[in-house]
Amino acid sequence: MSDGQDLPFYLRPAFLCLFVLALTGLKLWSAANAWFVEDEAYYRLWGQFPALSYYDHPPMIGWWAWAGQQLVGDTFLGTRLAVVLTSALGSLALWRTAGLLFDRRVAGWAVLFLNASILVGVGGILATPDAPSVLFWGLALWALAELYRSDNANWWLAVGLFAGLGLLSKYSVLFLGAGFVLWLFWAKDARRWFLTWQLWAGGALALLLFVPVLYWNHLHDWASFYKQFGRAGRGDWTSKYIFELIGALLGLVNPLIAIPAVFGSVRLGGKALRRDGAAALIILTVLPFLAYLVFHSLHARVQANWPAPLFPAFAIMAAVFVAHPNGWEAWWRRLSFAGIALGVAVAVVIQIHAVNPLTGTLARKDPTFQLRGWPEIGEEIRSIAEETGAAYIETTGYGLNAQLAFLFKDELPVIQLNERIRYAMQPPPDPALFRQKGLYVTVERRDRVDRLRQIYGDVKKIASLTRSVDGTFLEHIVVYEVPGLPIMPFLPDEDD
């Protein structure tokens, strides 16, 4: 890489550091003050009970939540702290990767583009498995870039380390391994690495780090693998969701960045076809996962967060296109400034809105609706529990269960009656608890009280509470009183 003295100020390391640190400061503030979304509240429970793995995902986000909770307590910031801090590390890794494979102009633009993407700028505080998977995917890519430039086989050990940590974060990192294999077979002179012991040792290290997940699944009838890998290709063929995937990618990357990323991918693709190692590294590490997402979208909906590990590569693609413009491409570089300004503005507004709602008129169409109204709901349920003498709260949905568990921590036990595999990391509840009266709480649209009556017989409706934001209705929360029983009233799962 050049020394950077010929770079405009906005691409120099000092400015990029200030840019990332300013956004990190904003994220720390919103992370400390915004309420949990459902999944975050659920992963907060993982941090309360660190384990080898969990039903939904590998354990890394639970370990991160535990670490943050040890540092700043069982708070919003405690659960999110590692996510916010490591986002800055991801920017540094991206800068180094793009600089090694291309140059510092590309590196600077890539950092700006990544942090101006809507998903990273807005979702960068959320404590979900996507955060560690994006980080370790990016670090593995950085280690391979170091290998490519230095020709030092020892970097394969770092690649294996970060790939293994990625596998401890989310199963989708398996697609990165497939990309590495494609690169080894395709890039010029890369096949020689198969003859080095470091490549095989790196692969063994990645598998060794994945052993806790394998062991947990062995103990639990491979439940997590069945849940996640069972999604692939399930359902009839349809074109209905492919347009959702395209729209989500354009929107969450940031439309003014996504279009240059498409042009950049074409440019890199042409170089990759000529077996250029740097271009092939970017294209081929993206291709397997992107192909899977397209395949999945032809059967079922792709959740908006799933492509998150690809966003650093998309930022590099866009940066390759605008960093050295010729002719009409210079117009896109000027437009890219608007894209960066737009992304940062959206991030600032939405994070302020997440903490202090600017309006409630959008109701459930507002992406922050999951954050709203929980303290008020907690106070109302607390009053009902005191009036009825309830000793515990029951639910049948993991998201509501997690929100109530946070609201009533150190007060009342909150127990989900079904999907008990989700809580394998916790000690089972005391059977004597269920001999006392309790409350069953549910969201009205998911009310399963008929199933509850099969166990209790008599279930008394106590209240229908309204969760709202600035007086705008979001949903009804229904509360029932349940009598004591001599047995634990666990419900079989719907699929049983």
Residues 328, 235 share a domain: yes
Q: Which residue has the higher pLDDT, 337 or 4?
A: 337
Taking residues 354-377, what's their average pLDDT?
Answer: 92
63, amino acid identity: W
* pLDDT tens per residue across span 178-226: 999 999 999 999 999 999 999 999 999 999 999 999 999 999 999 999 9
Residues 173, 300 share a domain: yes
Report d(CA 55, CA 222) in Å as an integer: 9
Say if 495 falls within a structural domain: no
Tokens 């080095």 found at: 196
Q: What percent of the chain has pLDDT over 70?
A: 97
Determine which of 95-104, 285-294, 379-388, 440-449 has the lowest per-residue pLDDT on average. 440-449
| Element holding 28 (H helix, E strand) | helix 13-33
| Element holding 443 (H helix, E strand) | strand 438-443
Say if 4 falls within a structural domain: no
Name every residue whose Cβ is closer than 8 Å to that of residue 155 and which is 6 or more positions away in sequence. 143, 144, 146, 147, 198
Backbone angles phi, psi at 350, to 5 degrees: -70, -35
Say if 89 falls within a structural domain: yes
Residues 315, 347 share a domain: yes
- Per the structure, the count of domains in the chain is 2
Residues 399, 350 share a domain: no
The number of beta carbons lying within 10 Å of the beta carbon of residue 278 is 21
Residues 191, 254 share a domain: yes
| Element holding 48 (H helix, E strand) | helix 38-48
Say if 73 falls within a structural domain: yes
Residues 376, 249 share a domain: no
Q: Which domain holds residue 274?
A: 9-355
Residue where a domain terminates, one of 328, 355, 382 = 355
Report d(CA 196, CA 20) in Å as an integer: 38
Name every residue whose Cβ is closer than 8 Å to that of residue 82 and which is 6 or more positions away in sequence. 64, 65, 67, 68, 131
* pLDDT tens per residue across span 258-303: 999 999 999 999 999 999 999 999 999 999 999 999 999 998 889 8
**In sequence order, which ranges of 187-307 are alpha helices (DSSP H)?**
197-209, 211-219, 223-229, 242-253, 255-273, 277-297
Say if 300 falls within a structural domain: yes
Q: Which residue has the higher pLDDT, 440 or 328?
A: 440
Residues 271, 181 share a domain: yes
Say if 363 falls within a structural domain: no
Residues 287, 433 share a domain: no
Determine which of 12-21, 118-127, 159-168 has the lowest per-residue pLDDT on average. 118-127
Say if 458 falls within a structural domain: yes
pTM reported for the whole predicted model = 0.94
pLDDT recorded at residue 232: 67
Say if 493 falls within a structural domain: no
Residues 274, 133 share a domain: yes
Residues 402, 320 share a domain: no
**Beta-bridge mates of residue 472:** 469
